[in-house]
Structure 1
Amino acid sequence: MSRFTKCWHPGMNDEASSSSSSGAGVLCKDGLLWYRDIGRHAFGDFSMADVQANRVLEDQSQIESGPLGTYVGIYDGHGGPDAARYVCDYLFRNFQGGNVTEETIQTAFRRTEEGFTALVSEQWNTLPDLATTGTCCLVGVILQQTLFVASLGDSRLVLGTRDVNTGRITAVQLSTEHNANVVAIRQELAELHPDDPEIVVFRQDIWRVKGIIQVIFLYMCPLRNPSYNLQVN
């Protein structure tokens, strides 16, 4: 897939960009709201929006499109913007060639995880706080009339479908959250860490990883059935 727009990095500069790549839509800022107006990709229109909840916007998003397909990534950062920015910079690059399968998606996720882990190790002495950042990762790829979905973290991907007869839009959930409140996730963590009785702790009325956070970060849990094939009509 040839790219037509670079990663979207709202929050890195004070001034919103007034220019855009071909078809990408214009990046605008309105208070704490960052958004792109309607743009074009290989299969139709798109728009994006982020609301800045913290002093620094921790989240990243991107859309890459060309004649062969369209890639959309949403990265919900935690503890700082570093992990989300790294994923935005490298995950798409780690997809090899134009072929998309469950295996190539897993490989791209794994290479990105390994790359960020190596970066944390390299900068441990100067930037130890880098190790405390993480990100959820939600990816959709449309290729040859097939939609591939990959999810890691507690974000949720929802597909809106319009009934051609009634015009009614139906929401279809395409991913399952990786959250410590989910029984299966707690069981998986316990199996992965049999020597750590406090890998999940019930604190403040919810289950938390190490008693701290609910979400399973990008580099804390292996991939779980990340891709689904849906025919797009």
Structure 2
Amino acid sequence: MLHGVRFLLSAAAAFARLAHAIVSTGWALFFMPLCSPTSTTTAVPAPWQHLQPARSKVHPAALAVDDGKDQLALQAVSSPPPAAVVVVPVLKQHGDRAAEKTAKAARGKPPRLSIPPPVACAPGVDPFGAAADRETDVATEVEVQGEGFCLASRRGVRHAMEDGYGVITDHTIEGGSQLAFYGVYDGHGGRAAVDFVADKLGKNVVAALAAATTSGLSSSSPPPPPTSDEDEVVAAIRAAYLTTDSEFLSQGVRGGACAATALVKDGDLYVANVGDCRAVLGSRGGAATALTSDHTAGREDERRRIESSGGYVSCGSSGVWRVQDCLAVSRAFGDASMKPWVTSEPEVSRRRLTPDCRFLVVASDGLWNKVSCQEAVDAVSAAAAAAAPSSSVGSCKELVALARSRGSRDDITVMVVDLQRFLQ
């Protein structure tokens, strides 16, 4: 009996110890997943853990976590289980955020610019023109009171000044002919073309006339009919325009220029133009007569000429007709990329001067886009009626101011030529 009781007590004690061990092991297994990393990989202590004192509860790598943004991660690092176990998921989360920010920045990055190759030009020639560096030095306003003419010019508000002018007065060529030359030029794409044309065109016209006169005087053929002199001068003007354009293109410089010119020779007035510069005659009765027709891409005859040479003309959303979707004028100096559709061959007209011919208004499109031909003649006539000569610069300034008041933002150049002086 005694032995049986002892056996029962021993079994009960063994069972109690076994139950205590099972309960202790079960609670440990229950809490372990809560403190373990999501990864099943066994954590390997970092090399610096062997060098750190045992009292350090925060893993050094956790210091790299952005303070204020990952406070929960820091709290997890300072918990009793080994810090190295939770560093990997925290840093992985931080790395994912950095990668996401980089991806967002890449999606918003603009496309890479495609820079075209430089324009091939003659050695030592600036492809933007020798005058490109001096564009900012051009005066905003210009006033000229010359012999028998006056001029006023004002820069627009959109870009550097690209207008110009040229004058040759009281020149005598072989044979005794007296001539005078006046021109207004409107450049585009920089000042290179307008500066070149302003310097060369008048000289080339005089040279072409001198060459034609010399060849005519030295010829042993019978005298030509009376109309041949007109044809000779017109041919010389056309040749001078084409020569000037060829000389400019040979430099390999960008840009182009429109022009309206007037040549007075032996009592005859020859007017030529390329582009949208215009010349208007003011008569004694006050009527205005346009002596030029603007060369725009919207002109029907110009469109047919361009299409017959392999080009095309289109109208954009703004209602402006353009050659090859680019240039609004169909004739101009320069513009090498637009050849042969944009030609420099001018339209030339001749008129015999009479006492009824009072003055000539030559201007760039900055004026004509806002002021009509009749309004321009009226302004100059009003200045003459107010005891001011028709060549007074005040009438030119008034026209410039009128165009600006009506919203012209382009360069404006106005020249008034006194024609009465050629009848004396």
TM exceeding 0.5: yes
The answer for the alignment partner of 2:235 in structure 1 is: 103
In 2, the alpha carbon distance for the partners of 1:157 and 1:147 equals 12
In 1, the alpha carbon distance for the partners of 2:241 and 2:192 equals 16
Residue 302 of structure 2 is aligned to residue 181 of structure 1: no
In 2, the alpha carbon distance for the partners of 1:65 and 1:13 equals 29
- Out of 129, 151, 159, which is 1:48 matched to? 151
Superposed CA offset, 1:42-68 (max 9, x none) = xxx210111101442111101111151
Tell me if the contact between 2:263 and 2:271 (Cα under 8 Å) persists in the aligned partners.
yes
The answer for the alignment partner of 1:115 in structure 2 is: 247
Bigger share in strand: 1
Gaps in structure 2 of 5+ consecutive residues: 1-130, 172-177, 214-231, 335-341, 355-424
Q: Which amino acid aligns with 2:167?
A: I
Shift of 1:13: 7.9
Superposed CA offset, 1:177-218 (max 9, x none) = 11001111111110112xx4xx31221222111112211232
Superposed CA offset, 1:151-189 (max 9, x none) = 1111221111113xxxxx221100111100111111111
The answer for the alignment partner of 2:287 in structure 1 is: 170
> Residues 207 and 12 of structure 1: is their aligned pair in 2 closer, same or farther, counting only changes over 3 Å?
closer
Residue 336 of structure 2 is aligned to residue 215 of structure 1: no
Tell me if the contact between 2:135 and 2:191 (Cα under 8 Å) persists in the aligned partners.
no
In 2, the alpha carbon distance for the partners of 1:206 and 1:89 equals 31
The count of corresponding residues between Structure 1 and Structure 2 is 184
Bigger share in helix: 2
Q: Which amino acid aligns with 1:211?
A: D
TM-score (norm 1): 0.72
Deviates more, 1:101-110 or 1:205-214: 205-214
Shift of 1:140: 0.2
In 2, the alpha carbon distance for the partners of 1:62 and 1:13 equals 20
The answer for the alignment partner of 1:157 in structure 2 is: 279
Identity of aligned pairs, percent?
24
> Residues 51 and 231 of structure 1: is their aligned pair in 2 closer, same or farther, counting only changes over 3 Å?
same
Tell me if the contact between 2:167 and 2:202 (Cα under 8 Å) persists in the aligned partners.
no
> Residues 202 and 172 of structure 1: is their aligned pair in 2 closer, same or farther, counting only changes over 3 Å?
same
The answer for the alignment partner of 1:166 in structure 2 is: none
TM-score (norm 2): 0.41
Superposed CA offset, 1:101-148 (max 9, x none) = 11100110111011011011xxxxxxxxx32x1110111001111000
In 1, the alpha carbon distance for the partners of 2:161 and 2:274 equals 20
The answer for the alignment partner of 1:57 in structure 2 is: 161
How much is the aligned-residue C-alpha RMSD, in angstroms? 2.2
- Out of 303, 316, 329, which is 1:203 matched to? 316
Shift of 1:228: 1.3
Tell me if the contact between 2:136 and 2:160 (Cα under 8 Å) persists in the aligned partners.
no
Tell me if the contact between 2:263 and 2:270 (Cα under 8 Å) persists in the aligned partners.
yes
